[in-house]
Structure 1
Amino acid sequence: MASDARLIEQLDPASTVLLTVECQRGVVGVDSALPELAAVARKSGALTHIARLVVAAHEAGVQVLHAVAERRPDGRGANSNARLFKAARRLPVQQIVGSTAVRIADPIPVSEDDLVVRRLHGLSPLAGTDVDALLRNFGCRTLVVTGVSANVAIPNAVFDAVNLGYTAVVPSDAIAGVPADYTPAMIRNTLALVATVTTTDEVLTCWKRPRRAS
């Protein structure tokens, strides 16, 4: 865990963006294509913690980006070069552009100031999307990464953020993967090497602190 002073500096609302990854109905909602992942995300409290972080970000003036994975009905532009992509095409719920499956899942709120960035390909919410350009236009230095899954998209997002020069902050209770015990092991042995690992409560405390006038 980061020291209080270091975390406060990293999480300055003026230079921080909160990213939610694949927190969409077809992934973590009641009618998920991946019911095991959805169940873990809810039972672990990760979805509740993500919602708390989004609410606090709105109140603190922290920009929120929601990264959504979707596909065209005809599959054009989608990857087929890994088992994961081929398996996804056979799932009973498809993340089709414009469908309810790609809407942000409850209880996560979406404000009119939030941006939703959609991708048709790949494993990462940053690589090959508009996210990096948007972060730079927002003056972002720190990216808070939340969502699913700890197996694939979350580590991709963290590695890409670090490679692009951002400081990555990961609230450990606001991400989920399968099986449930995989997530803490992955955080401890992988993400902790490249990101600041913290908790939802610690992030909220930083964002609620009064800021000195510049």
Structure 2
Amino acid sequence: MATKELLVRQLVPASTVLMTVECQQGVVGKDSALPELAAQARESGALHNVARLVTGAHRAGVQVLHAVAERRPDGRGANRNARLFRAAERLPVQQHSGSRAVRVAEPIEVTDEDFVVRRLHGLSPVSGTDVDALLRNLGCRTLIVTGVSANVAIPNAVFDAVNLGYTAVVAADAIAGVPADYIPAMVRHTLALVATVATTDDILGCFEEAGRATPA
């Protein structure tokens, strides 16, 4: 895990963005298309920790961005070039644009100041979406990555962020994937090589410390 000194240097509120990845009703909600993943996200506390981080970010003045995956009901423009996409087409719950499935899931708070970035194609919450342009316009230097899944979208987001020149921070207890024992291995042997790994409490502590240091 990262040292407090390193996190304090990286998590400057004015240049930090917190991103939630696919924390939507149809993925981690009660009517999820992926019940095993949804159960893991909730039972592990990962979804709760995402919500805690979002609330802490709002209080600290850290920009929050929610990355949502969806598809048109007619499927136009969606990928079909991998097994994952073809399997998703057969799931009982579809992530259709405008449906309840693509709303950010409880207990995560979404405010008017948040950005919600929706993508209709691909695997990445960053590449091929509006995220990079928004981050640059916001003056972002550090991107905190949370959400699902540790199998695909989370590592994809981290790699893309690093390739684009951002410092990536992964909240290790605010991500979920299946099976559960895969997540520590992914974090230790892959994500920790390119990102700063921290806990929810560590990140919230930095937010609070930055708040105390800011003149009233």
TM-score (norm. length: structure 1): 0.98
Name the structure 1 match of 2:46.
Answer: 46
Q: How far is 1:3 from its partner?
A: 1.7
Shift of 1:100: 0.1
Tell me the equivalent position of 2:100.
100
Note the aligned Cα RMSD (angstroms): 0.7
Cα offset, 1:18, TM superposition: 0.1
User: Which consecutive aligned stretches of 4+ in structure 1 deviate over 3 angstroms post-superposition?
Assistant: none
Deviation, structure 1 residue 6 = 1.2
- In the other structure, the counterpart of 2:31 is 31
User: 1:168-207 alignment to 2 at 5 Å?
Assistant: 168-207=168-207
Aligned equivalents of 1:3 and 1:47: distance in 2?
A: 24
Aligned to 1:21: 21
Match of 2:18, SS state, is strand
The alignment partner of 1:190 has SS state of helix
Aligned to 1:172, the other structure's residue is in SS state strand
Amino acid at match of 2:213: R
1:212 Cα offset (Å): 5.2
When residues 56 and 83 of structure 1 are mapped into structure 2, their CA distance, relative to the original with a 3 A threshold, is: same
Q: Which residue of 1 aligns with 2:79?
A: 79
- Amino acid of the structure 2 residue aligned with 1:174: A
Does residue 160 in structure 1 map to residue 160 in structure 2?
yes
**C-alpha deviation, 1:48, in angstroms:** 0.3
Q: Which amino acid aligns with 1:37?
A: L
Other structure's SS at 1:155 match: helix
Give, in angstroms, the shift of residue 2 of structure 1: 1.7
Deviations 1:95-148 (A, max 9, x none): 000000000000000011001000000000001000000000110000000000
Distance 1:27 1:212 in 2: 37
Per the TM alignment, residue 56 of structure 1 is displaced from its structure 2 partner at its CA by 0.3
In structure 1, the partner of 2:213 is 211
Aligned to 1:60: 60
Structure 2 segments unaligned to the other structure (5+ residues) = none
In structure 1, give the amino acid aligned to 2:5.
Answer: A
Tell me the secondary structure at the aligned position of residue 121 of structure 2.
Answer: coil
3-state SS of 2:129 partner: coil
d(CA) in 1 for partners of 2:5 and 2:213?
13
Q: Distance in 1 between matches of 2:154 and 2:172?
A: 11
Unaligned runs of 5+ in 1: none
- What percentage of aligned pairs have identical amino acids? 76
In 1, Cα distance between equivalents of 2:75 and 2:8: 43
Tell whether 2:9 aligns with 1:9. yes
